[in-house]
Amino acid sequence: MLDEFNIIRKYFQNSNPQDFLGIGDDAAVLPQIDSNKRLVVTTDTLVENVHFTPDVDPRTLGYKSLAVNLSDLAAMGAQPKYLLLALTLPEAKESWLEKFSAGFWNLATEYSLNLVGGDLTRGPCCVNITAIGLVESNSYLTRSGACIKDNIWISGTLGSASAIIRKKLSKKTFYPDFNWTRLESFLDMPSPRVHLGLELLGVATSAIDISDGLLKDIGHITRMSKVGAIINYNDIPCERELQSLRDQKEVQALLLSGGEDYEIAFTAPERQTEKITKIAEKLEIPCTKIGKIKNGSDVSVYDEKGSEIIISNMGFDHFKV
């Protein structure tokens, strides 16, 4: 039977420890940061029956738990470096741990990340990851820099992850004639836009990762930048499965407030359009202009006829009753 320290050694030990003191001591001692660098720290918690069901594929859970943290660092233009993992499990099943750690390390290895510590305890299943990145002292992205007349951009496509959630909850009543299988990876294995965030340094005036829904997250930018926004609904990119349904109220809600997209929304002046286009081509990540920053404080959405689209649910909130 595996005990706590055997689990750590077997599944969560760095294969290539670098210049730091990490797992095996009471706390991690990280290398001294260059005077021109700053640490960027983010944390996310995924809880069973809130963020995932008990029958979730552990490999998917390991991957996504890390991906959502890296998406936060991407929105800041940070280079991911270190990780802390706190894992709560009802029991130590080797088959579960093997799959979870495989998904986790699959993504961690892609970005050469070092796991420097964490915690392991018994209880209802819960995954907490803290990710630490680096930025130049005066070069990082925030939500508060959007300027009037800036264009609003998003990476990738929206609505796919929330469409799969809607499909799973609908008991086969959500457009049953459509084949939704291809969209499942958008929910299970989102691609954190780390390289895009780095390329947008000095180009974008503000940025945020789209986790709670486009309108809610654009609202965070407008509130912190003290501006308003106009969104052109028909410019919002989506996958082909949703394209033919985009005029349906249910699908409008998915694109505007569905959440779980983990794409980057950002603002930039018109003069940066050509540069953004070249960045998108270089990274092979589509970036689409969907609106404009304006005076005021509201976020308005209009269809191709100029009629305003009203969405009652602006996005996800854990504590909304």
* 127 lies in the same domain as 165: no
* Boundary (domain end) residue, out of 107, 136, 165: 136
CATH label of the domain that carries residue 87 = 3.30.1330.10
Residues 6+ apart with CB under 8 A from 139: 77, 201, 202
* 290 lies in the same domain as 180: yes
Query: Is 318 part of any domain?
Result: no
* 160 lies in the same domain as 294: yes
Q: What is the DSSP string of 32-74?
A: PPPTTEEEEEEEEEEEBTTTB-TT--HHHHHHHHHHHHHHHHH
Q: What is the pLDDT of residue 170?
A: 80
* 168 lies in the same domain as 247: yes
Q: What is the pLDDT of residue 247?
A: 87
User: pLDDT tens track of the chain, all 321 residues?
Assistant: 566 667 766 766 665 555 554 555 556 677 777 888 999 999 999 999 888 889 999 999 999 999 999 999 999 999 999 999 999 999 989 999 999 999 999 999 999 999 988 999 999 999 999 999 999 988 999 999 999 999 999 999 999 999 999 888 887 778 887 888 899 999 999 999 999 999 999 999 999 999 999 999 999 999 999 999 999 999 999 999 999 898 899 899 999 999 999 999 999 999 999 999 999 999 999 999 999 999 999 999 999 999 999 877 655 444 353
* 296 lies in the same domain as 219: yes
* 155 lies in the same domain as 290: yes
- The boundaries of the domain holding residue 45 are 4-136
* 132 lies in the same domain as 163: no
Q: What is the pLDDT of residue 53?
A: 87
* 167 lies in the same domain as 254: yes
Query: Is 241 part of any domain?
Result: yes
Question: Does the reported pTM lie above 0.85?
Answer: yes
* 93 lies in the same domain as 212: no
Q: How far apart are CA 310 and CA 257, in angstroms?
A: 11
Query: Is 141 part of any domain?
Result: no
User: How many domains are there within the chain?
Assistant: 2
Q: What is the pLDDT of residue 79?
A: 97
* 8 lies in the same domain as 124: yes
* 237 lies in the same domain as 290: yes
* 182 lies in the same domain as 224: yes
Query: Is 53 part of any domain?
Result: yes
